[in-house]
Amino acid sequence: MRAWTALLSAIALEVTGTLSLKVFTSAGTPGLELAVTYALLAASYVLLSRAFRQIPVAVAFAVWEAAGLILITGLGALILGEHLRPAQLGAMLALGVGAALLHRGTRPTNPTRPGVGNAAQVSA
C-alpha cells in the first residue's frame, strides 16, 4: 500500500510541478518559481523510484504517465482555459485503458517460485 501511496503522491507532485511551470512562465517571472517547479518534479521522481520497489516498473510508470497526462490535460482545460478536441478526449481514454491493461497483465507467472514473473518476489 505504501508503494501506491508513493505513486499517487508522485503523480500529484508531477501534475502540480508541470502546471506551475505553465503558470509561472505565463507570468514572465522565472526565478524562484522555476526552482519550485523543478523541486516538485524532482520530488515526483524520488517518490516514483520508491514505488518501483514494490510495483512493477511497467505498471508504475504507465500509471504515473497516464494519470499525469490525463490530469494535466483536464486541469489545463479547467484552470488554464485550454480547449479539448474529441481526439484529445479519445487519447485520454486510451491512456487510462492502456495503463489498466498493463496493470492487469502484470501478474506473477509462477507465484510458488520466488523471482519467476515478478521482480518484487526476488529474495536477497
SS (H, E, C) the chain: CHHHHHHHHHHHHHHHHHHHHHHHHHHCCCCHHHHHHHHHHHHHHHHHHHHCCCCCHHHHHHHHHHHHHHHHHHHHHHHHCCCCCHHHHHHHHHHHHHHHHHHHHCCCCCCCCCCCCCHHHCCC
The pLDDT tens digits for 90-103 are 988 998 888 888 77
The pLDDT tens digits for 4-27 are 999 999 999 999 998 888 777 766
Note whether residue 65 is domain-resident: yes
Note whether residue 81 is domain-resident: yes
Note whether residue 90 is domain-resident: yes
Domain that holds residue 14: 2-106
* Total domains, the chain: 1
Note whether residue 118 is domain-resident: no
Note whether residue 29 is domain-resident: yes
- pTM of the full predicted structure? 0.74
